[in-house]
Structure formats: C-alpha cells, structure tokens
Amino acid sequence: MSGGVDSSTAAALLKENGYEVIGVTMQIWPSDDLAAEADRFGGCCSLEAVEEARRVAARLGIVHYVMNFKRVFEEKVISDFCREYARGRTPNPCIRCNQFIKFDALLMRAKALDADFIATGHYARIEFNPSAKRFFLKKGIDPRKDQSYVLYGMTQESLQHTLMPLGGYTKEEVRQTAHQWKLPVADKPESQEICFIPDDNYGRFVQRRIKEHAQPGPILDRKGRKLGEHRGILFYTVGQRRGLGISSPEPLYVVEIDREKNALMVGREKDIYADELLAGHVNYISEYPLEESTEVQARIRYNMEEALATVNPLPNGRVRVSFKKPQRAITPGQAVVFYQGDTVLGGGTILCVGDKGREVKRMKETKVGRVVTYFAHPEAAAIELEDHLKVGDTIHIKGHTTDFEQEVESMQIENETVQEAKKGDSIGVKVKERVRRNDVVYKLVEE
C-alpha cells in the first residue's frame, strides 16, 4: 500500500471478495536525506504516504505493517539506476523494483507471514491456462493505464502467488469504487515521478551519488566534428532535443551516447529512427525461451504503442528485434517487451541499436585466405562459428582506434571453458585488449 488510490482500492476489492487482507507499506529510503526530500514533495512511500496508507487500512479494518526494504532497494534499484546512467544508458527502475522488490523480496516476506498471495494495484491481469499448465500475464483492460510493460520480469512462481484486482477496471471505475468505500485517498492525484527522485531531476540525483561520471565532454555531429560541450552524459538521453546548448539551422537530437569517449552524438530527427535492436537479460513469462523467429508486437517504452516486429533468438539469452517500420529513439537501458495480442510473452533490456546489434557474417577473399567477419559490439561479443576454431588460433581485431592480432587464449560455451569449438557453436573469445564499439573480429582460415 503506497498511500495511493490504486493500491488502496485493490485492498478494498480483496476484502469485498472475502480475502483476509494485510496492508503492507514498503520502507525503501536508504538515507534520511532521501526520505526528507520525499516528504517535501509528497512522493511514494514518504512518511505522508505511510500515514495515508494507515488511514486507509483503518477505514477498511485491516492490519497494516511498514516493512523495511532499504538495503535491497538500494542494491537492486538505486545503485543499478546510477550505474546505468554512468554507462550512458537510460534505465527504467520501476521494472527492477517489480522484479526484485515486490515480486521477490516482498513475496518472501509474505510467505513468512503465511500469506497465500501478494496483491498490487497494477493495471494488468493474471490468468491460468489449464491446458498449457502455465500462468499468463495480460494487459489491463484500460489501455491508458495498462502496466504490463513494467511487469515482464515476472516468473511462473511470482504469477502463481500474485493478485492484481484492478486489471479488469478502468481508472474512472477505480476512483468510483474508492468513493463508494469512502477511502480518504479517493481523489488523490497520481504520482508520475520515479519514487526515489520526487523532484524528477534525474541528472542531479545521479550526479550527487557518482560525481566522477558527471564530467563535461564533446558534442559531436555524425561526421565526428565537435559542435559544443555537454555537462556530463548522465544529463542526457537518446532522442533529447532540449538543453543541448548548441545552435544549428535545424533541430538536433541526441542520437547516441558514447561512454568511452564521454561524448554525445547528435543528428537530425531522421537519425534517431532505427528498425533493429539487440536486447539481453531476456525473461520469458512461460519460462520457455523462443527457439525460432517469432512475429510479435513490441513496445520499446512504457508510454508507446506496440509496433510489429520479429524477435530472433541469439546465443547467450539475447534476442535481435527487427521492426517492420523504423522506431523513434530506441534507447539503450530501456526495456523492449513482446506481446501477442494482449498477452505478454516476455521482454529484455535494450543493449544497442541498429546494426550495432547485428552479428554480421560475410565472406570475402583475401591473399591470406578466406576471412569470416563478425561484428563485436562489447554487448554482443559472442560469435557463431562458421568454421573450426581452437585455442591457439589467431584472430584479427580491427576498429576505428585499434588494429591488432591476438592469439585465442580461451573460449567459453555457456560459461564452460573449452579448448576448441566446431562449426555452429556459439562462443565467447577472450582477448588481451578490450574490443571497442564498432570493432570487427576477423577469423583467418588458411586455404
């Protein structure tokens, strides 16, 4: 119970349906400074919100507890949020909060209380399919409020022990129900900000925690020419137009954030469209990973509509998503979630965009013999062999800033070190020097 109308109404509906309900508010603020700021802005889980949750619990006649999740929230949500911004990515902390706090840590606490379920105020539905013997996660019926996007990390275990009473209601119906129960939060406005950044100033929050990553750097155009200087990459996101501080005859947008160069790449609006991405840390709701290319509707941001796409499974639990039409501002760090109709298949974290996410394989002839070329983006370094490779063979690393040959020291297949690999195996190759973005890996094979 966050002190808002949704969780409060969910509790009321459960009591109305005969459940024994225990109200729980999570205490997540890791420091007094954050807690004080949340109180000042009236944020989720602030002291004010806790008191409102208690008043609702009293009105419903249910027990109410405040549970301490400070440590796990700091580790799994806040620290990750800051690390991702420092890497030039734009994370969605609500997804990690759901995955690691609500449907993991809180679920374990609930079981310790001998509770059968945890219940939330999310606008989504959980259905059990007897023939498939699987739980399915589906969109809420209110398209304006559907929250299935931020729930793609749920598992069969968490779905089995979770209730979402609001999935079959519209927001207007929820407020009407809250008024019928005379809940003191029936007209409370919705909270739009990230709960631990109640003033909505992401850059300032991250800067205070990791000052070393808030260094100025160049703003470059698509040809590498310097146009100006930025305040620090953590203040920007892909697709951003305002606040760049540079003049141009036409609007410029952030196209890419290059952490290695501490640089912003900017371009025209057409440059922020792409039709392909690579995603990792993929979770499948059914717990059955895709084995072949699958047509889906994919969503790349919480408040965007789905777009037709094909999901292609790759080694190491990654997928390549190819869209029928280019999508605007695909952003590393955000989630891509796959749907078929109103059912969530799963989703993952966007690692890179465009052909940077494609493991390119092409053949060409050179005087030293046949060369197989692989793209080696640092987030897609696994390569699928088209020829035999063994420890001791030489690979050639070629990129914009580095060009060297390296003897293969070790290879891994699914984290198991191997001495050699055969055609079709997907391996990771260890090299002494770091493979940089846009580098290409050549494997030389004698004729």
From the list 45, 82, 94, 97, the catalytic residue is: 97
- Cα 388 vs. chain centroid, distance in angstroms? 36
Our answer to whether residue 352 is catalytic in this structure is no
Our answer to whether residue 97 is catalytic in this structure is yes
From the list 45, 82, 94, 195, the catalytic residue is: 195
Question: Which residues are part of the catalytic machinery?
Answer: 97, 195
